Structure 1
């Protein structure tokens, strides 16, 4: 008897849904997710329970007409149900389409229409993001509500209605290079950039993370970054593939995060510097036992010395894993490395993003003609490898521009030293042009961030009649410290070229951040440009 196409597919494929089944077989009774809402309510699910729920939802979706290649969107904060839905879709070959819950209703409508979503899952607390445009979402065949609220709009289904029924493994022919997730990097552009990540992409990203950073079965990871973003989803599926336990919060609430890390003896977490700094200021930070932490993953911006020094006081066993990647690389880091203290930070430079890694991608730094730049010179990072996305959704122009020459052009500017250390200079689009000279924001931030009175800083350009753009910085000072604008400008002048030295420094108590807790420099630029014009 000859083997069927489905049997051959099941025999050899890479699929995110299959990875959960294998974990459930290996560790059925182990806690997979311990979940906490913002008000402190908690519940947990074992690996076997999580897999059964995903199978049940998969069968119910298929019975109701969802098939391979269909798009299913979800607008939600972190929850067990979000991951159940994701794995259910992976098992049947449908696409998960996460929607940013910080978007305004017209932007939500735009992404739902653009993605051709058939079913739309919405958290009960976020119905306001959808209600004003609900009558315009005519392409959606079924709305489903996440959450415990007993009330919901007419015609909507409760998520729990998808749980009863068969729980055996669905068997659908899904190729490794089929799309698993359509993730939007922006929701307000006229032609939004939707990243198409495949099952093979996610499996490659998980393998790269496991090989280079390491996730053990006895690890306990705090996941507070949003699942709607690539980093949150990859971290969660990475932990679940490796039989680790996730302590998940509905949203990143610093006091709660510290308490849960201590209570569950969390061995690691992954946060951008903005959140690590926010946790430092919490009243329970220095009184909590965080000696359990061994892996503190970070990315997205310059690491301030205050962050490293502050965390080492309460988490003496921790190592910081600094790296750099993007949604288009399936949140797989392209360069990364461990440091245990600021003394180990190469060149004392918080822009350090490690060294080249095993497996994930080839990396080059090139000039505007795609020629390799020498050591010490900044160049755009271009890459190729199994973690690179399949392409941008419905955007041939962006694909042609990004994939030219057989390499993916990231738009990130880095430089490396003679020892092979890589440092993040800037995004090409964020670079400041001051007096005809290029200024990389993160170079200035790396200097400001070493001042003993600076807890956090962000550098950006402001319109200037003389310079075209003037270098400016927003600063959050360390608690109990006193420093002036003139003192910080002089500190930078002693360490930077004149054209790189900030012309203005603005003091703040907080920074504007996105749902992924990344600094929103565009908001700082708009705020201070308007203030200076007043």
Structure 2
């Protein structure tokens, strides 16, 4: 089903319910619905073409939410622009998807005008918060209040194979690939989130992670559930912790790095978290020790999902009940799990020859089902490769236990080969982050004459912890053995990250491999 149908369903059921809080903005479902009709009507009157690519370049802002809904009512494909990327990369991506429209925030005015100059397909620019350099504001561009509503162009099957979005993958090498997110797969994801994150009281979603990433679909899932959505302009640990109690927040999504910042805050135990039902972690693996600590601080609301842009967000689910039990000592190993397969898909493990592996063996995580998107935009060969043997290939290596819980071991191409042994980075990182005072850790392999590659830990530590490399190495030898324990430990103020916030292993390795002829040793 189309996203706009999920929204209209809730607008019909609860027109006067508060849908959006963002700064001074307060909108009910009925008021937001009126805005989407006025925006879609203006776009259609302005020559909008069905399924045209519509880019949004903005920090978190209330108008981003209504613009997304408005472009979907018009029949557009959402193109989220990651403003953390280099401008040249965003320009290349917008040329690739042939974006026709650009909605932007005034804080990105200079970038937006450079995009217009270098992306010839863009024919209309609208500034969402003010008039800017001859471009109308969103308020002045929309049709006047009271204008006729846009005709409903939907079909009985929900326009399943049409595009909801073309979302860039977050890889660290080569140009970004655009994932074709279909109404079918996006809708299946929204319904899955609604099923696994249901609650008895009216839901209140707090959105502070970028709407251009996982927070976007999580926010739309909240709207599909009839939630009140609170949008903060960005992540600030203290502001988020205060907002939980002040707004009686029931649902939130954050990446693990944001959780770590909150846990390290001196006042983390000073706020009210009693309303929280689901504190979702996704986007990268979370430290089991930090997850256990989070349950102690935030209560039995911590949960985790696993998915990808191509395999939307909720392929597996680790529920608050399971996490709380594991933190209390019932199957504590599940703190390192990404959960069990959701109802929306089948998840298996596969070897390099396309054979499905039995429980307990390590292989590539593959999946099939409703949350698999429509491949890569205008890249049929790459899509076919990713769907080899009739399954979507994640590129992640994992295993499954006898209870159906999946454990991600590493990226398929991100193993350290040391002395002839394969060492998975995540196992090293989990061991290091068990130590008090370790805020973050990334494991990489660096050239070594004896071992080929030496396991190396890049560590961000609390200065007051007075950690030493010897302490880290000794702890890891005791926990995971001498083969997997780091041979080197480097303390850094921060760990390099990609524009989507994941560890940039390529940048970390470059420091040590820059004089090597190849990236293996």
TM-score after normalising by structure 1: 0.89
Q: Does residue 323 of structure 1 match 2:308?
A: no
1:368-390 CA-partner distances (Å, limit 9, x unpaired): 11112233221101111011001
Is 2:25–2:62's contact at 8 Å kept on the other side of the alignment?
no
Partner of residue 443 from structure 1, selected from 427, 449, 465: 427
2:198 is aligned with 1:214: yes
Equivalent runs, 1:234-249 vs 2, <5 Å: 234-249=217-232
Match of 2:198, SS? coil
User: Residue 337 of structure 2 is aligned with which of 340, 346, 352?
Assistant: 352
Offset of 1:349 from its aligned partner?
A: 5.8
Mapped partners of 2:314, 2:452: distance in 1: 37
Matching of residue 172 in structure 1 with residue 157 in structure 2 = no
* Alpha carbons of structure 1 residues 133 and 179: separation in structure 2 relative to 1, 3 Å: closer
What 5-or-longer segments of structure 1 have no aligned partner?
1-13, 37-41
**CA positional deviation for 1:331:** 2.0
Q: Aligned partners of 2:172 and 2:453: how far apart in 1?
A: 25
**1:8 alignment partner in structure 2:** none
1:403 is matched with 387
1:429 corresponds to which of 413, 420, 425: 413
Mean CA deviation greater in 337-346 or 58-67: 337-346
Q: Could you tell me which of 244, 247, 267 is aligned with 2:250?
A: 267
Aligned residue for 2:8? 21
CA–CA separation in structure 2 for the residues paired with 1:86 and 1:275: 25
Contact 1:381–1:409 at 8 Å: present in 2 too?
Answer: yes
Whether the 8 Å CA contact 2:315–2:347 is kept in 1: the answer is no
Q: Distance in 2 between matches of 1:87 and 1:277?
A: 32
> For residue 160 of structure 1, what is the aligned residue in structure 2?
139
The change in CA–CA distance for 1:101 and 1:194 in structure 2 (over 3 A counts) is: same
Give the alignment of 1:27-426 within 5 angstroms. 27-36=14-23, 42-148=24-130, 150=131, 152-154=132-134, 156-165=135-144, 166=147, 168-173=149-154, 175-186=159-170, 191-215=175-199, 218-229=202-213, 231-316=214-299, 318-338=300-320, 339-340=323-324, 342-344=327-329, 346-348=331-333, 350-358=335-343, 360-426=344-410
CA contact under 8 A between 1:69 and 1:94: conserved in structure 2?
Answer: yes
Query: Matched residues in 1 for 2:226 and 2:512: separation?
Result: 48
1:280 to partner: Cα distance? 1.7
Matches of 2:270 and 2:436 in 1, distance apart?
23
Match among 438, 442, 453 for residue 458 of structure 1: 442
User: Once the 2 structures are TM-superposed, how far is the Cα of residue 477 of structure 1 from its aligned partner?
Assistant: 2.9
Which structure 2 segments of 5+ residues have no match? 517-521
Q: Output the TM-score relative to the length of structure 2.
A: 0.91
1:4 match: none
- Residues 185 and 431 from structure 1, CA distance in 2 versus in 1: closer, same or farther, beyond 3 angstroms? same
The number of residue pairs the alignment matches comes to 508
Question: Closer, same or farther in 2 for the Cα pair 1:243/1:520, shift >3 Å?
Answer: same
Distance (whole Å) between structure 2 residues aligned to residue 483 and residue 272 of structure 1: 25
Structure 1 residues 416-425 or 110-119, which shifts more? Answer: 416-425
Does the CA contact (< 8 Å) of 1:259 and 1:288 recur in 2?
Answer: yes
Distance 1:131 1:344, change over 3 A: farther
Whether the 8 Å CA contact 2:57–2:105 is kept in 1: the answer is yes
1:137-196 Cα deviation digits (max 9, x unpaired): 222111111224x5x234x23222233332624312462221110101148865531000
Counterpart-to-counterpart distance in 1, 2:171 and 2:438: 33
C-alpha separation between the residues in 2 aligned to 1:177 and 1:473?
Answer: 45
- 2:84–2:500: 8 Å Cα contact kept in structure 1? no
CA distance in structure 1 between the aligned counterparts of 2:270 and 2:37, rounded to whole angstroms: 43
Q: Cα deviations across residues 18-50 of structure 1 (Å, max 9, x unaligned)?
A: 1111111111121112114xxxxx322211111
What value does the CA root-mean-square deviation take over the aligned residues? 2.4
Picking from 477, 485, 500, the partner of 2:469 is 485
CA distance in 2, matches of 1:132, 1:220: 38
